[in-house]
């Protein structure tokens, strides 16, 4: 990091002064004594949970920051994984964490100042128990026998991880997209526990259009000939369905402007079309195919079903305020920063402003920024400099 705070070109190197360096994931069994009773019914006990931490906890144990990952993310938010393991972890080799540009010494979330925690959610395929995990009662993968989980369950699971780490008080909880939903739910379920709340590219619910795209993605998986009612772990996997779901989702993460700028209607490696129905003709097609092919190597189709369904079910106003968003917002005690992006049509600015307006009506402390961006929903991961400045400023004024 340079003197004025601008990131240097080699900031992602593990030996860079602003990197947390080589890290190893940690695991813990939660809910050993008291099972986690789930909102949709059923329960889970002895919940294996994967998490990572960076920085040091101070003597008062009040400098913690909790980060929540997005839909297909994991606990590896910063640094370089020293021991990636398993087929679905190969993608982590020789790559920094998914938000490495934000977390580390002298970065926006400064690990010289904060003790940073990121835990993997229930139902994922990255170390925390989910449908691809072995059910101890059957010694087989859970598959669709894994219970349905919700954003509320994720929040209680994260709170249990904080309990295990001895963190009764958290300086800030933050997340983008799905992670923003979980951050909001934590601030509602445990209002006195969090001093700050940062929500990026997320809102109190998914839009109707978001529900529709998630439904199409799940349909692609469910109708794959290899899906086998979710019991595919000993045979061919539903890779075609998962690939189609990823391609559909990838479109929602972008915008017309970003797609047009990057790909336009350019043909792939030729000056004129081949007039084929089965081949790849356009650069846009090639990009989506690449995204799909890399995704299916690292993610589980059942996890995709569980996590997108949990996002769909979440409606903070219905759950906490009897359908009235201002009454929901009144519960929040954390000082809040809400960030939207102009071209995001998965969690559009108008939806984000609904929560901001409700917080203003409830006289809750909230700051709101809508960042002009052509990058769509992915902007919270792409517009790094503007997001970095906002987070740094918020944490600086939300001082211990």
Helix locations, 314-348, DSSP H? 316-320, 325-329
Q: Which residues of 3-14 are buried (b: 16+ CB within 10 A; e: fewer)?
A: eeeebeeebbee
Residue 261 annotated to the active site: no
Residue 204 annotated to the active site: no
Catalytic hit among 133, 177, 255, 373: 177
Q: How far apart are CA 129 and CA 30, in angstroms?
A: 11
- Let me know: does 213 contact 306? Beta carbons within 8 Å: no
Catalytic hit among 100, 204, 377, 378: 377
- Let me know: does 130 contact 158? Beta carbons within 8 Å: no
Residue 177 annotated to the active site: yes
- Let me know: does 220 contact 301? Beta carbons within 8 Å: no
Q: How far apart are CA 79 and CA 77, in angstroms?
A: 7
50, β-bridge pairs: 27
Catalytic hit among 224, 300, 344, 378: 344
- Find how far residue 346's CA is from the centre of its chain: 14
For the chain, how are helix, strand and coil distributed in percent, rounded to 5?
35, 20, 45
Catalytic residues: 177, 344, 377
């Amino acid at each position: 990091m340079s003197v004025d705070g601008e990131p240097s070109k080699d900031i992602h190197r593990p030996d860079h002064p602003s990197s947390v360096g080589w890290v190893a994931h940690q695991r813990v069994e939660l809910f050993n004594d008291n099972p986690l009773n789930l909102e949709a019914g059923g329960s889970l006990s002895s919940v294996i949970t994967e998490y990572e931490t960076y920085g040091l906890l101070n003597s008062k144990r009040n400098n913690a920051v909790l980060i929540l990952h997005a839909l297909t993310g994991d606990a590896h938010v910063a640094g370089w994984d020293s021991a990636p393991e398993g087929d679905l972890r190969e993608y982590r080799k020789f790559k920094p964490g998914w938000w490495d540009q934000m977390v580390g010494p002298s970065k926006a979330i400064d690990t010289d100042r904060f003790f940073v925690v990121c835990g993997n959610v229930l139902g994922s395929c990255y170390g925390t128990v989910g449908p691809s995990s072995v059910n101890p009662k059957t010694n087989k993968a859970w598959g669709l026998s894994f219970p349905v989980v919700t954003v509320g369950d994720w929040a209680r699971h994260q709170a249990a991880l904080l309990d295990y780490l001895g963190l009764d008080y958290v300086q800030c909880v933050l997340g983008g997209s799905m992670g923003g939903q979980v951050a909001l739910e934590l601030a509602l379920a445990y209002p006195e526990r969090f001093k700050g709340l940062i929500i990026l590219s997320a809102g109190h619910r998914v839009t109707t259009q978001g529900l529709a795209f998630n439904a199409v993605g799940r349909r692609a998986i469910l109708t794959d000939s290899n899906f086998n009612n979710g019991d595919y772990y000993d045979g061919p996997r539903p890779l075609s369905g998962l690939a189609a779901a990823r391609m559909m989702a990838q479109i929602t993460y972008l915008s017309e402007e970003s797609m047009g700028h990057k790909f336009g209607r350019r043909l792939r490696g030729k000056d004129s079309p081949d007039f084929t129905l089965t081949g790849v003709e356009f650069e846009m097609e090639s990009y989506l195919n690449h995204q799909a092919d890399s995704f299916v190597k690292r993610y589980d189709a059942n996890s995709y079903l569980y996590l997108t369904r949990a996002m769909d079910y979440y409606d903070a106003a219905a759950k906490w305020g009897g359908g009235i968003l201002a009454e929901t917002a009144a519960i929040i005690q954390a000082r809040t920063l809400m960030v939207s992006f102009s071209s995001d049509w998965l969690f559009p600015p108008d939806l984000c402003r609904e929560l901001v307006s409700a917080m203003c009506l409830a006289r809750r402390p909230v700051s709101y920024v809508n960042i002009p961006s052509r990058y769509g929903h992915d902007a919270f991961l792409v517009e790094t400099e503007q997001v970095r400045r906002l987070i740094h400023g918020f944490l600086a004024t939300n001082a211990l």
